[in-house]
Amino acid sequence: MPDPATATASTSRRTLLLFLGLVFLVTLIVWPSLSGRIQYARTRAELAAIRDAAGRAELTPVGKLFTTLVRIVGPSVVQVRATRQVRTLADEIRALRGDASRDWIDETFASGVVVAADGVILTNYHVVSQADTVEVRLVASGDPLPAELVGADAASDLAVLRVDADQLPVASWGDSDQLEVGEMVWAIGNPLGLDRTVTYGIVSGVGRRGVLDDPFQEFLQTDASINPGNSGGPLVDVHGNVVGITTAIVGRDYRGIGFAIPGNIARDVCEEILETGHVERGYLGVALRSVVGGRSGGVVVAVEEGSPAAMAGLAPGDVVVGFDGRLIEGSAEFVLFLTRAPIGSTVTLELLRDGRRKLVDVTIGRRPVDR
């Protein structure tokens, strides 16, 4: 006959095992759902905290950055309207016959930026070139004002206008030499006639040369949206300072590649035009070509008789590798350094002559107006 104590113990063990098995089964069924709910609740709490932070102050400055920049720079951006009378051959023939002329009016709408409170405005030369009349529409009044052409520089594609107004909001200049690829920038202008449109992007490249096949120009490249009508408007940095004057695009419409004249160049040209009415550029009387094979430097191919280069002893075959301590990568860079050097200043050229390095001091002359 079985022992009652042993039977009781066996029953208890079976009950315990059955209970544990039931708990394990319930856990397998319920735990994934419960775990998901816990994780989802945690995620919702994190999202709520993020939204709360954004609604308070932590992320507000980031969201307000764009609007602050527009408030700072926007009032100094103007619309420029240039008009030209266009006469066709048929118009000329009618005029010779004494018939009434039917001249067409060609209009160009572009942008400009106020650089002095007494009505000084900077824009692109190609905007006002050959214009019969130029008008500027200010933010404050909205009325068009006749603009006088103070001076222009076709080589840098810049022009200075003046309107009869004072106490205008003035844009501040930044240091374009400190810009690095990847920095955020904003373009403000009047693309396609849409007043003070704001776009933003990054600096995609610096020191772009040969864009318009002009040795006197170098550009900042940006992917900020630039379209016809942006020409002459400011490119500004994160501090609201002008670091460029938007000038050109690739193709007829926006493709993500736009170009701006560096602000430091634009400021210097503007100041020289205001001071003298024109821009003077350095001159040595030497012709260079870039070194083939990807090597740095420019090969002297000709030296003008009686020129500063000739008086300094430069000769065909010399390879110019340095300009006042700066490396010369090619002939285009040499031209840029030369034309920006002060007239009458003395600079040191580093040459390679017969395989030996040689330092030569030259005095910068004034470039003839027909060059």
Q: Which helix (H) or strand (E) holds 265?
A: helix 263-276
CA distance 259 to 204: 10
Catalytic site residue 157?
yes
Strands 326-327 and 144-153 turn out to be unpaired
Catalytic residue, chosen from 111, 126, 153, 237, is 126
For 198, the token pair is: 């704001």
Catalytic site residue 126?
yes
Q: Which residue has the tokens 């397998």?
A: 28
CA distance 76 to 17: 84
The answer to whether 223 touches 235, Cβ cutoff 8 Å, is: no
CA distance 279 to 259: 22
- Give every CB contact of residue 262 below 8 A, 6+ residues apart in sequence: 176, 177, 179, 206, 218, 219, 220, 243, 244
For 17, the token pair is: 């095992």
For the chain, helix (H) and strand (E) counts, in that order, are 7, 20
Q: Which helix (H) or strand (E) holds 348?
A: strand 346-353
In the DSSP assignment, the letter for residue 125 is H
Catalytic residue, chosen from 157, 223, 237, 318, is 157
For the chain, the farthest-separated pair of C-alpha atoms sits apart, in whole angstroms, at 144
Catalytic residue, chosen from 204, 231, 290, 331, is 231
Count the residues in the chain.
Answer: 371
Q: What distances in angstroms separate CA 28 from CA 31, 36, 39, 41, 110, one per listed residue?
A: 6, 13, 17, 21, 71
List residues with catalytic annotation.
Answer: 126, 157, 231
